[in-house]
Structure 1
Amino acid sequence: MTAFLSLLLAHIIADFYWQPTAWVNDKRRKSFRSRYLYVHVGVVMILSYVFLANWSNPFPALLIGIAHGLIDISKLHFDKKGTAAWFAADQALHLLSIALTAVILTSHLNVEIENLKLWLQTPRTLALASGVLLCLSPVSFLVGILTRPWREELEKLAPNADDNLANAGRWIGMAERILIFVFVMMAQFSAIGFLIAAKSLLRYNDKGVGTEIPAAYISKKSEYILVGTLLSYTFAIGVALVSKILY
């Protein structure tokens, strides 16, 4: 675990703190031909070597640096727009390379695999994973189905009202439900009240809405958002409480 955390810290510093924006932009333009790519890999190697503090064995740091460079080159080749999906995949591969290197260093591969299997099969892990996953897409679909009549009514009132960011409500809802799930699992129920209060400050505001939008639409849109929010919170709290019982 110490080796993994040391390599993880080196990765975080090298990737997010000691990599100037100019280096990133140059890498995007020139890919593997960018000299900053190799400077960055060198920084990863040096930090990994220093944090591991295994002065007689530089090979793990070299291995991490090579893997880091190959992953970055692959991302630069396939990810032309800097999407969130490729960012997540890139970081997941970096974490995987760090974990494999840490396991090789400790020479406990079989033990670690067995421990991982045991951890994944515990009721606590299964309850947490099921609860988190339920709070994401399933509850989103359920809330969407329950609020569909009001959404259709709003569309009839203002068919051309383009006042929502694409999928923004879905992502906001998932983020809120995950926060609520964490708060319930930690028995921090007062934090849920703080979240509700913060959300109330950002309720649908009619200021700046064009005159072509009917007044009834504005009022009903506020009620629609409130209903959706309360349903989302209720389901999240319910799922979290069940998960807490099974935990």
Structure 2
Amino acid sequence: MSPTFLALLVAHLLGEFVLRRDPPSRPEGAPIPLLLHAALVTALSALLLGTLNAWLLGSLLLVHSLSDASRSHLLPRGPRSFLGEQGVRLALLAGLAWSFPGAWETGLWGSQLTGDALRTYAQVLVVTAGILATVPAAGVVIGLLLEPLTRELEEEQSPAGGLRNGGRYIGWLERGLVLILYLSGQASGIGFVLATKSILRFGEIKDSEHRKLAEFILIGTFLSFALALSGGLLTEWALGAIRAD
């Protein structure tokens, strides 16, 4: 597992899904905000790699600027476009990591950390990437996938009196908890989390007049748990690849 790619991946996830002010699925189209965001991700990459390699950082700035511009002006809104653009961006980051194999070794952290310390830093990057992909990034994907169903819900079936962004935070907490349970070897506890949420959410909508809302919540819940388990599997695999190196 390339430490260079891990650093670029964490910088991308931080800039895209945590530090971004406009919605990741439809970034602001003005040139200045797009360039500022690309510059932020590039700066984060330089920090995590501990490098000032001009060719690598310039390429990163170009990749993120073009990707944001294409998503803002050319690609239609929707899960396919968003996932496709993210896939292309990750492939480009992997290509940059392959093109600049010495960026990590010649950087500040790669030259200072050795042995167990280097492996620990790589493991921290893997876990951080897993958390960012499973919690905020998966939330954006779920929102896009459920958007057609959200429009289908009738106004009177929408839950009333809820906290603003309460559903988002519930999703973050449940996927984070599922990831923690899985990585800590307590996968059996995931069923308890699912049962607890089912009791809390479905007790108030058990009558037939809320059928659509109940189905919407079921779909969102299972989708959230599926992405959380997938994130746990990928994180576990990446940690194993680092231990094997």
TM-score where L is the length of structure 2: 0.46
Larger RCO (CA under 8 A, 6+ residues apart): 2
Find the structure with the greater CA-based Rg. 1
